Amino acid sequence: MDSGDLSVPVPPLGEPSRAGENPFAQAQPVRRRAESLRKRIASAFAALLALFAKFFAAIKSLLVLLPNVKILATAGTALVSVAAYSLFWGWTFAVGFVVLIFIHEMGHVIALRREGIRASAPMFVPFLGAAIFSKSLGEDALAEARVGLAGPVLGTAGAIACLALAEATGSDLLRALAYVGFFLNLFNLLPVVPLDGGRAMAAMAPAMWLAGLAVLAALAFYFANPILLLILLFAAMETYRRWQARKTRSPQQAAYYRVAPRHRLLVGLVYLGLIVILAAGMDISHVLSSGGHSFRSI
């Protein structure tokens, strides 16, 4: 090749070029890596979309099941309570005991709904009974009394049904359940908030809250029961809050506690009537041994 020849030698077809001779030699692996990266990104994006689709499908299913959440919560807490009570009294008594508590609480739920107030289903708390939740107990003290007394009214009916079945079948188990049902509803009529008797006193004589608090304190001191002490703590806090609110003498407070005399009388008759029925039910359903000193084994 002379000095005037400017041609560049080209390797034969199929012969690999040496490094530095082909400018596209290193571009092909880079292009393959880019295509692989795009495929990975597309796969990841598709997987993410599938995950979001499953997530929204799960949310949709949850929304469909939402009306049943309250029922599931009630059933779940009831089972926990049955398990807790069965450690001391056996599962048959525990089931009956929880059913009686449920009947009592449903009295409150029904009364709240009659007042036009939405209420939760009963939530059970082992050794403390059960609770329902609502925005209020009514627009005035009379409505609060109706809601409060509705629990013992329906609970008393449940205990009476237990006693009737016990008489028909001769079952000491049902008789013992009736006795406990009468006792629990009677205890709830102590005239102190947040017990049902305290709700009734809101319409009758709020000053009775102080007397009820003193009785509850005496019971807690005498029996040294931790559950009574806990109820006493809640009662003291609620009584203090109520009394402080009443001391403001605001128009709203005055309107809330304004109850017609005939309605006070009606609430008083229901309250005292329940006490008489429940005390008589406890006396009738009290199961004693032959010695007259203890319960017969269930």
The upper half-sphere exposure of residue 53, i.e. CA atoms within 13 Å in the direction of its Cβ, equals 6
Residues 6+ apart with CB under 8 A from 179: 281, 282, 285, 286, 287
Centroid of chain to Cα 286 = 32
- pLDDT, residue 5, reads 47
Measure CA of the first residue to CA of the last residue in the chain; give whole Å. Answer: 121
Q: How many residues does the chain have?
A: 298
The reported pLDDT for the residue numbered 285 is 92
Angle ∠(137,139,141) on CA atoms, nearest 5: 75
181 contacts 188 by C-beta, under 8 angstroms: no
Q: What is the pLDDT of residue 245?
A: 87
Q: What is the pLDDT of residue 70?
A: 64
Q: Where are the beta strands (DSSP E) in 180-288?
A: none
Structure confidence at residue 138 (pLDDT): 84
Q: Would you state the pLDDT for residue 19? A: 47
Residues of the chain with pLDDT under 70: 1-70, 288-298
pLDDT at 288: 53
Q: Residue 125 phi/psi, 5° resolution?
A: -125, 115
Give the per-residue pLDDT at 298.
42
Q: What is the pLDDT of residues 170-216, one digit of tens each?
A: 999 999 999 999 999 999 999 999 999 999 999 999 999 999 999 99
Q: What is the pTM of this model?
A: 0.72
